[in-house]
Amino acid sequence: MNHWIDILDVADIPKLGARVVRHGSTDIAVFRNAEDEIFALEDRCPHKGGPLSQGIVHGRKVTCPLHGWNIELVSGCAVAPDEGCAREFPIKVEGSRVWLDLEALAREAA
Amino acid sequence: MDMSTPATRASKMKLVMVGNGMAGVRTLEELLKHAPDLYDITVFGAEPHPNYNRILLSPVLAGEQTVDDIILNPIDWYAEHNIVLHMGKKVVKIDRTARKVIADDGTEADYDRLLLATGSNPFVLPIPGKDLPGVISFRDIADVDAMVRASSQYKHAVVIGGGLLGLEAANGLMKRGMEVSVVHIGEWLMERQLDEPAARLLQKSLEAKGMKFLLKKQTAELLAGSDGRVASIRFKDGSDAPADLVVMAVGIRPNSELAESCGIHCNRGIVVSDTLQTVTDPRIYSIGECASHRGIAYGLVAPLFEQAKVCANHLAHHGIGRYEGSVTSTKLKVTGIDLFSAGDYMGGEGTETILYSDPLGGVYKKLVIKDNKLVGGVMYGDTADGAWYFSLLRDGKDITELRDHLMFGQDHCGNLGHSGINKAAAMTDDMEVCGCNGVCKGDIVKAIREKGLFTLEDVRKHTKASSSCGSCTGLVEQILAFTAGGDYSAAPTKKSMCGCTDHTHEEVRAAIRERKYLSIPDVMQAMEWDTPNGCASCRPALNYYLISTWPGEAEDDPQSRFINERAHANIQKDGTYSVIPRMWGGQTTPSELKRIAIVAEKYNIPTVKVTGGQRIDLLGVKKEDLPNVWADLDMPSGHAYGKALRTVKTCVGSEWCRFGTQDSTQMGIDLEKVFFKMWAPHKVKLAVSGCPRNCAEVAIKDVGVIGVDSGWEIYVGGNGGIKTEVAQFLIKVKTTEEVLEYSGAFLQLYREEARYLDRTVHYLERVGLDYVKKKILDDADNRRALYDRLIFALSVEKDPWVERAHEGKLKHEFETVVA
């Protein structure tokens, strides 16, 4: 059974930026870095819930706009010595389209 | 200990480090940050311990800490980083042809790069009896063990050497219950750090603790007792003193024996260049107490950590960064004694001295000044401002304007804002240090002790103290100095922009101007950034430097702006935004107020508030509503979200006020219309008052204008935020055109020369008002050129709200994808 949904085009996300994808009540930040790698995290910083999608993207990290925590885009975890992780969602890129795993989303919601 | 297999080791370069001390291991830590996989690393250490904090041997001797407390890198750390560690093995030979080192037990290791961090050896007086049992130095854990053992069996201890190390040893032994005499050849104690009056005060308080001093005494020989152990000391004048334990603390010598034996040029240390490479063999690096850089072998940890940073950078093949020497400061680690010394503390020809002496109260301070700069100082009894003086000294700041108050410390120099309590030592553990992040003194002390922190940057990372507004930085530095020991690592002489580069703000700006870089990737590539696309600190700074240097040519990169400047609204703690429309000079109309009311209701905006700058704030706007809110408001952007011209606050002025002498409201409107859309290193606030009653509070604005009967007075560099600072008088002028030109020229100077995130107050503090006067008042051509450059830069800017509300610019920023 296919759980993957087509959410947007790589070109819809600014390089070194992010877009917010809303699924039900969950906001997912979909990031694109300079190498066109795509990452998806829940749009909540593990520190105080800041919207990571609004942060500055650099390398494979994003800096939360509220208090400057650095979050690893691959794992969603804060860079040491800060501690905590944002939920990370499975994502895949086919051609120029970005797909998100719905089942993972449902599991997370459950 | 070798756990790696030949297969994984084959492809990488091999780095061998001889010496397992603080400077060397710090280099490895820095290297692992830059290039974790570049080398297979092997470390040889002569001592049977992993890297420990040698500075804290004194507290261990005094029984205030244990050996375990002072371990910096436990054995696990080496294993985690795949570093092969040979403890207790002394390297005895370097074969530079075969590129390998050989240890005393026959262990060999090949190298592509070799790092010599062999430290120093204590100097042993060449006198009869120097080898007797009971005669030791004070250098490592073994010495401390020997002293602790002796203190439980014997009574009389003699410490030869009244320098920093000798006094710390004497203090420790005294605390262990011994009777201690300090023998010193000089006329006063610590003559390399103190002048005579300070040293006398120190001597007096140590004597009060029970320490004895034998000054101007030269040791002739050490005599054995019947058991063969040292029993007494004899001086050249023929007198004796009993001595069951003799600690020689007469200085250290760089340990360059190994380097010399393989033909590396040494001259009171292993001679290295600014890249920390030996001048003889570029494959071999040397840092720490064994290295001689420009004729100096440093013995304090701060300069060694600066060296480590540069050395690691070169080992990581980044090839940038130069170590250009350090200014050092000293603090004695004897509980209950406050002493601080830095730079040229003696003074002499060409210098001036400011003195404060209160012998009864036990306070002595001396500041040495040369060419209007602080070049040295000694403090005894009250060292609260030591860190501040040291930063003035290190940065070479012009102190002309501080001079009258300099002696009384930072609190008396205009910082009326969040100064708090300025005596770290007097604080209890539960007292708050950092008001922004709620960090108490106890948290900081604990982090420093448990995590082995040395630098302000480390403390910021681990505790968040002083990482927000920065006003408690001095206090945190003091706590660091008290906890980590005196010579904690102060910020390097040269302040790089951020961790991504070793270049300073000034170097980067100069390059952008001179080589005409027009984009962030251009700058990063040409200036060899360490990271692929910078970080959240350097990217916004670079973006500002580019657009302010090349207006209309450099591309503004929205992805390198903080969210507020990308969304053109202020992000709030819940992720919504606040919108503040511009009202020229704080004046509005019924029709604007109606539109604001309609917008607030239409978009369910929960809070409407009047700001400190006389504008109306709509709080709690959803991001996707922003473009429509702006369109419906149909008012210009207030830039309340930006490092930009914020507001021009005005009083009513002569139009209505019975005291008003000038039309301050109109002047405010004129200023705000001309400087509208001005980006700057930080936010910029203006105010205009119509008479000296000053209802618009111009004294705390970046540019403040006061109307008087005969014209306008212009004040600059005021600040009402973290650092309260009263603006300084620049000039009095007659016409509106002049007010605009002088204010604009000052703002453009600030835009061109201040570091990103410096307010005008910080900029003025750095360059001094005289400099600004020279550029703006004395040089009319330059003033007009500055003003013209500002006007040109503003002419290419558009109102960002209009672009987004009506022209669809960066639409994606405000749209959410629904899946």
Among the partner residues A14, A19, A50, nearest to B559 by beta-carbon distance: A14
Q: Which residue has the higher pLDDT, B340 or B625?
A: B625
Interchain pair B817, A22: CB under 8 A: yes
Are B544 and B649 contained in the same domain? no
* Range from B58-67, B161-170, B608-617 that averages highest in pLDDT: B608-617
**C-alpha–C-alpha distance, residues A43 and A29, integer Å:** 5
Q: Does pLDDT of B244 surpass 70?
A: yes
Are B243 and B263 contained in the same domain? no
CA torsion, points B515, B517, B523, B528, in degrees to nearest 10? -30
Among B533, B539, B813, the strongest candidate for a mutation testing the A interface, having the largest count of A CBs within 10 A, is B533
CA B772 to mean position of chain CA atoms: 26
Query: Does residue B409 lie within any of the structural domains?
Result: no
pLDDT category at B530 given cuts 50, 70, 90 is confident
Query: Does residue B188 lie within any of the structural domains?
Result: yes
Close Cβ partners of A86 (under 8 Å, ≥ 6 residues apart): A41, A42, A44, A45, A46, A52, A71, A76, A77
Among B468, B529, B817, B818, the strongest candidate for a mutation testing the A interface, having the largest count of A CBs within 10 A, is B817
Structure tokens at B26: 């710090």
With pLDDT > 70 as the criterion, what percentage of chain A qualifies? 93
Are B187 and B238 contained in the same domain? yes
Question: Do residues B51 and B72 make contact, with C-beta atoms less than 8 angstroms apart?
Answer: yes
Interchain pair B571, A65: CB under 8 A: yes
Structure tokens at B696: 């618009």
Query: Does residue B14 lie within any of the structural domains?
Result: yes
With pLDDT > 90 as the criterion, what percentage of chain B qualifies? 65
Tens of pLDDT, residues B272-314: 999 999 999 999 999 999 999 998 888 777 788 889 989 998 9
Q: What is the pLDDT of residue B325?
A: 84
Q: Does pLDDT of B210 surpass 50?
A: yes
Q: What is the pLDDT of residue B548?
A: 96
Are B99 and B175 contained in the same domain? no
Query: Does residue B681 lie within any of the structural domains?
Result: yes
How much is the average pLDDT of B425-434?
Answer: 76
Are B715 and B742 contained in the same domain? yes
**C-alpha–C-alpha distance, residues B303 and B305, integer Å:** 5
Mean pLDDT, chain B, as a whole number? 89
Last residue of a domain, one of B561, B580, B596: B561
B563: nearest CA in chain A? Answer: A54
H or E element, residue B230: strand B230-235
Amino acid identity, residue B235?
F
How much is the average pLDDT of B451-470?
Answer: 79
Are B689 and B776 contained in the same domain? yes
Query: Does residue B617 lie within any of the structural domains?
Result: no
**C-alpha–C-alpha distance, residues B312 and B318, integer Å:** 9
Vertex B296: Cα angle to B294 and B298 (nearest 5): 130
Alpha helices in B94-195 (DSSP H): 141-153, 164-175
Q: What is the pLDDT of residue B395?
A: 77
How much is the average pLDDT of B16-25?
Answer: 95
Are B650 and B787 contained in the same domain? yes
Interchain pair A66, B534: CB under 8 A: no
* Nearest-CA distance A37 → chain B (Å): 14
How much is the average pLDDT of B555-574?
Answer: 95
Q: Does pLDDT of B50 surpass 90?
A: yes
Q: Match 């809070």 to its residue by tokens.
A: B607
**C-alpha–C-alpha distance, residues B797 and B551, integer Å:** 8
Question: Do residues B188 and B203 make contact, with C-beta atoms less than 8 angstroms apart?
Answer: yes
Q: Which residues of B touch A83 (CB under 8 A)?
A: none
pLDDT category at B417 given cuts 50, 70, 90 is very low
Q: Does pLDDT of B333 surpass 80?
A: no
B141: containing domain: 135-250
Q: What is the pLDDT of residue B700?
A: 95
**C-alpha–C-alpha distance, residues B319 and B310, integer Å:** 9
Close Cβ partners of B49 (under 8 Å, ≥ 6 residues apart): B67, B71, B87, B141
A86: containing domain: 4-109
Tens of pLDDT, residues B126-140: 999 999 999 999 999
Q: Which residue has the higher pLDDT, B704 or B424?
A: B704
Last residue of a domain, one of B268, B296, B315: B315
Tens of pLDDT, residues A55-99: 999 999 999 999 999 999 999 999 988 889 999 999 999 999 999
Q: Match 């008088």 to its residue by tokens.
A: B729
Own/partner long-range contacts of B662-667 (Cβ < 8 Å, ≥24 apart):
B662/B690, B662/B691, B662/B707, B662/B708, B662/B712, B663/B690, B663/B707, B664/B688, B664/B689, B664/B690, B664/B696, B664/B705, B664/B707, B665/B585, B665/B586, B665/B587, B665/B690, B666/B585, B667/B585, B667/B705, B667/B707, B667/B712, B667/B736, B667/B739
Q: Does pLDDT of B502 surpass 90?
A: no
Q: Which residue has the higher pLDDT, B792 or B472?
A: B792
Are B301 and B195 contained in the same domain? no
Among candidates B353, B386, B385, B388, which has minimal Cα distance to B368?
B353
Strand ranges, E, within chain A: 4-9, 17-23, 26-32, 38-42, 56-58, 61-63, 70-72, 91-94, 97-101
Bond into A81 cis (ω within 30): yes
pLDDT category at A109 given cuts 50, 70, 90 is low
Q: What is the pLDDT of residue B484?
A: 67
Are B667 and B782 contained in the same domain? yes
Mean pLDDT, chain A, as a whole number? 90
Q: Is the ipTM of this complex over 0.90?
A: yes
Q: What is the pLDDT of residue B424?
A: 67
Angle, helices B538-549/B736-753, rounded to nearest 10 degrees: 130
How much is the average pLDDT of B378-405?
Answer: 81
Q: Does pLDDT of B83 surpass 90?
A: yes
Amino acid identity, residue B800?
P
Are B670 and B773 contained in the same domain? yes
Among candidates A52, A30, A60, which has minimal Cα distance to B819?
A30
Q: What is the pLDDT of residue B492?
A: 46
The total number of structural domains that make up chain A: 1
Q: Does pLDDT of B609 surpass 90?
A: yes
Among B451, B563, B577, the strongest candidate for a mutation testing the A interface, having the largest count of A CBs within 10 A, is B563
Q: Does pLDDT of B685 surpass 90?
A: yes
A61: nearest CA in chain B? Answer: B535
CATH code, domain with B648: 3.30.413.10
CATH code, domain with B65: 3.50.50.60
pLDDT category at B10 given cuts 50, 70, 90 is low
Q: What is the pLDDT of residue B413?
A: 55
Q: Which residues of B touch A20 (CB under 8 A)?
A: 816-817
Of B398-402, B519-523, B556-560, minimum mean pLDDT range: B398-402
The total number of structural domains that make up chain B: 4
CATH code, domain with A16: 2.102.10.10
Are B275 and B243 contained in the same domain? no
Last residue of a domain, one of B282, B299, B315: B315
Q: Does pLDDT of B420 surpass 70?
A: no
* Range from B246-250, B297-301, B719-723, B761-765 that averages highest in pLDDT: B246-250
Amino acid identity, residue B468?
S
Query: Does residue B567 lie within any of the structural domains?
Result: no
CA torsion, points B348, B352, B354, B358, in degrees to nearest 10? 30
Tens of pLDDT, residues B769-799: 999 999 999 999 999 999 999 999 999 999 9
Reduced to 3 states (helix: H, G, I; strand: E, B; else coil), residue A55 is coil
Q: Which residues of B touch A67 (CB under 8 A)?
A: 468
Interchain pair A68, B536: CB under 8 A: yes
Among the partner residues B462, B566, B819, nearest to A23 by beta-carbon distance: B819
Are B178 and B291 contained in the same domain? no
